[in-house]
């Protein structure tokens, strides 16, 4: 296992739609182990493979907070199959957009279909914080970021800030 570098805004990789995973082989298992290690080290509660430069439809997440027992979950090819009409608001952040947070409104409950490392299909209901995490991460798989749910003005400010930082770090 190893910690992998995070892809940071404005990297265009974050806007790509990730590819469906066809085989759940040892390469995928190693990738998921690396994703968990990277996510926990960051520290974060969710990570999409694209955030470490791999454009495959894989998400790791752990909605446990504080002293709660860890509840790691790896989802391959996750998709939301239904969502509630009721919504909830959470202040979201993103490992690919460090030190920026914004309140996002999303469905309070979602049904998610995915496969595990053994290729078994699952459907499960998620609500509250877990529902927010999975929606945020599936957005990544579709090339969307949580800032896309904010006002145009806030989104443009964030983009400009990170573009400026990238130019500065690139020596321009």
- Predicted confidence (pLDDT) per residue in 36-95, tens digit: 999 999 999 999 999 999 999 999 999 998 889 999 999 999 999 999 999 999 999 999
Lowest mean per-residue pLDDT among 15-19, 144-148, 165-169: 165-169
List, for residues 104-144, the tens digit of each pLDDT value: 999 999 999 999 999 999 999 999 999 999 999 999 999 99
Measured CA to CA, the distance from residue 114 to residue 130 in angstroms comes to 15
How many degrees, rounded to 5, is the angle at CA 22 between CA 20 and CA 25? 125
Which pLDDT does position 171 carry in this prediction?
Answer: 60
68 in active site: no
Q: What is residue 64's DSSP assignment? A: -
- The pTM of this model reads 0.95
List, for residues 110-120, the tens digit of each pLDDT value: 999 999 999 99
**Domains, the chain:** 12-169 (3.90.45.10)
Which pLDDT does position 172 carry in this prediction?
Answer: 54
Of the residues 33, 91, 108, 137, only one is catalytic, namely: 137
Measured CA to CA, the distance from residue 51 to residue 45 in angstroms comes to 13
Does the pLDDT value for residue 1 go beyond 80?
no
């Amino acid at each position: 296992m190893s910690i992998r570098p995070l892809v940071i805004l404005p990297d265009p990789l974050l806007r790509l739609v990730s590819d469906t995973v066809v085989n759940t082989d040892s390469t995928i298992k190693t990738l998921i182990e690396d994703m968990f290690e990277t996510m926990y080290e960051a520290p974060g509660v969710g990570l999409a493979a694209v955030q470490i430069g791999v454009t495959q439809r894989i998400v790791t997440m752990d909605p446990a907070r504080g002293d709660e027992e860890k509840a790691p979950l790896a989802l391959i090819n996750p998709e939301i199959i239904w969502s509630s009409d009721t919504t909830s608001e959470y202040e979201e952040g993103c490992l690919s957009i460090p030190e920026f947070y914004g309140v996002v409104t999303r469905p309070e409950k979602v049904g998610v279909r995915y496969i595990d490392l053994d290729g078994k299909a699952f459907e499960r209901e998620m609500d509250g914080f877990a529902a927010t995490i999975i929606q945020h991460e599936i957005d990544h798989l579709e090339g969307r970021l949580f800032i896309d749910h904010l006002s145009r003005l806030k989104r443009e400010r964030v983009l400009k800030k990170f573009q400026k930082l990238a130019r500065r770090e690139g020596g321009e």
